[in-house]
Structure 1
């Protein structure tokens, strides 16, 4: 489940707009004597909501807790509101009138809260099915986490738990040893591990299995030693849970920034480059070799979903185009194709994939299906790179790990850089990768063949 940082500033903005618009319309005199009233009402709201953690990102146990928090903010801010007419501005309003005004403010905020909840529920139900989760280990924290799983707002489907102590619970699935096979064979999306009930080696094995079977793992921690660069803490009720594969791209605003950049950048390339370059390459290809201007190949993208990847055709037609990567002095490469591949111009049609949302400008390079099937079984954590959209270029490519995979270390280091990029993403990093990609294309790369 993605963390939502975008909804908090949006809610705060709408709340402040509603409060200020209502006060200005119904009690305008308080706004006509300088900015004292404006500062008082807005700072009052910020102080009250901050003191009770009204905009906290912590996942609350139940809707009753949320309702209580909402009522509490109404009471506390009511004190701020009514105090203002004692210390600020003219006292021309009756107490009945002021109660009516404040009641209208509370009504507006309540309606927005219900509307926002309704929109969010429709949105999440339309874009994804519930995340099937299992818990490995059992202790008193499981009951607290279960309250979150059972809350339909969080889009979970709780399957059951594994533990070495035999339980009569209807959700008991067996011993911890049995969980490894169960996770692999069933459509489990996320695995929660209660660290206090497992040994260090059992946790490491569970992390290895989930990473290599494309499952998310989250740890309810104790003092065992297992850390990653991207580890972050989420609160499920008041229970801390460690997410070992957290990424900045899980944040809504980060995805909006990256997608906005992708659309803007790809639109420029399509309009100002592909629009005239494609007809030119088509004409040159007619003199060089028969075949279409574009070459399409099925590749794995985000969440290992298949899409058609576009390139300018740089080879002659063959039966092994979907199974054999281009190698040095490859006889399949045409004369024009050598130029296109040396300058990376053959990759430019993938900006169409970016515009359509299949790819991003920067990200892990998408691999052929045959290679995915090969490396997911032989390269540790290979499938982790599919947690984000593939890119036209990436960190691994500017570090020299592009093109043909000759040694096993080539794919291992490529995966290592892809995971590092996922964990450390920023727009600045994307712009840096794009710069060095263009620089390397102009300079020429050893493995660009």
Structure 2
């Protein structure tokens, strides 16, 4: 309607009467939402049908027995197991690996066909039956389910690795693939973009000065790129101003006070949090949010998972520049405390909580900068 009105403004030949435009716009504003609600209702009331995805024959059998809806079949990567661990069945199925015994279900192919199967068969539920909740396959399937709006379920023993949308008494539990509703998600994304653009504009002159200081202080690149874990176990490259001597990074978390690998400029940047400024780009492109669990180096993930059992629950929320753990100074050197704050944020998350955390973080950063200036003031020595 806006396009028609604009066209009519510049070309009288195509101009529609104002009353026609107003009435048509009003009708569309009523009809379109009703139509969308009807489509959504039709989608929700479609016949439920499930597929099973995994590589453990025993779990596939348990999931098949626990499901209360029609099962179309199963998808699986190459399976290599001893026949003793598989559930006996009249059928012998060969799916890219060793010959194993599986329940009498229709094989639908490998994991590469998941998206096609979800679309072609109008699947409503996917049950994951992997032996381990590894990043590559388990969370890859969850991400595909999230993209297609398909409900995902896991066996109860995997509940520590996922967020639960509801607590059930059965053997299968439902995974909460999207903790935010669409209104809050839209509001959060708008806030992220506004915050990042404002930060880039305000700090543009400072970025050049920091880059020059880093080059003069020590040899090496200005920026430091690192692969980190994003939501649902995917990865992205985060950029920061380099604060260590080139090539001196290590996997294990180290306290800044005891780290002699940090450069002189790097120590100032870390204390003032200015080394985080390049991450504004990651927020703009959607890899990160302003508020969320801190993104962890992928090589460090396995070490932290060993010390915090439910660590992977952090993967169900997009990582953030700041968060509840950050404003309470909980770092990777104490993963249990960090995880406790991250899970509290996931349970309580809302737009207004994000605003409070950002205000708190800005106040902390300003306080740190003031303290840093006072400590370097020669008159106070």
TM-score bracket, normalised by the shorter chain, equals 0.5 to 0.7
- Any residues of structure 2 matched to 1:11-410 within 5 Å, and which? 56=41, 59-62=44-47, 132=53, 136-137=62-63, 142-143=68-69, 146=70, 158-159=74-75, 170-171=104-105, 182=131, 184=133, 187-188=137-138, 189=141, 192=153, 203=156, 205-208=157-160, 211=161, 221-222=168-169, 243=174, 245=176, 248-249=179-180, 251-273=181-203, 275-321=204-250, 325-402=254-331, 405=333, 410=334
SS of the residue 1:262 aligns to: helix
Task: Report the counterpart of residue 422 of structure 1 in structure 2.
Answer: 346
Structure 1 CA distance for aligned equivalents of residues 68 and 347 of structure 2: 28
CA spacing shift, 1:364–1:140, aligned 2, 3 Å: closer
TM-score scaled by length of structure 2: 0.61
Structure 2 CA distance for aligned equivalents of residues 277 and 291 of structure 1: 20
Structure 1 CA distance for aligned equivalents of residues 291 and 301 of structure 2: 19
CA deviations on 1:323-367 (whole Å, 9 max, x unpaired) are 564531422222222221111111111111111222111111111
CA spacing shift, 1:357–1:334, aligned 2, 3 Å: same
* Partners of 1:135 and 1:192 within 8 A in 2: no
Shift of 1:399: 1.7
Higher relative contact order, structure no. (Cα contacts within 8 Å, ≥ 6 residues apart): 1
Aligned length: 288
* Partners of 1:247 and 1:423 within 8 A in 2: no
Shift of 1:304: 2.3
Decide which structure has the larger Cα Rg and report it: 1
Task: Report the counterpart of residue 336 of structure 2 in structure 1.
Answer: 412
* Partners of 1:395 and 1:418 within 8 A in 2: yes
Once the two structures are overlaid, the 10-residue window that deviates more, 392-401 or 312-321, is: 312-321
Once the two structures are overlaid, the 10-residue window that deviates more, 295-304 or 389-398, is: 295-304
Shift of 1:379: 1.6
CA deviations on 1:1-43 (whole Å, 9 max, x unpaired) are xxxxxxxxxxxxxxxxxxx989x68xxxxx9xxxxxx9xxx89
SS of the residue 2:283 aligns to: helix
Task: Report the counterpart of residue 431 of structure 1 in structure 2.
Answer: 355
TM-score scaled by length of structure 1: 0.53
Structure 1 CA distance for aligned equivalents of residues 64 and 167 of structure 2: 11
SS of the residue 2:360 aligns to: helix
Structure 1 CA distance for aligned equivalents of residues 304 and 178 of structure 2: 23
Structure 1 CA distance for aligned equivalents of residues 68 and 292 of structure 2: 37
Over the aligned positions, Cα root-mean-square deviation in angstroms equals: 4.4
Task: Report the counterpart of residue 196 of structure 1 in structure 2.
Answer: none
Shift of 1:138: 5.9
CA spacing shift, 1:310–1:340, aligned 2, 3 Å: same
In structure 2, stretches of 5+ residues that fail to align are 1-18, 55-59, 77-85, 91-102, 108-127, 143-151, 373-381
Shift of 1:284: 2.5
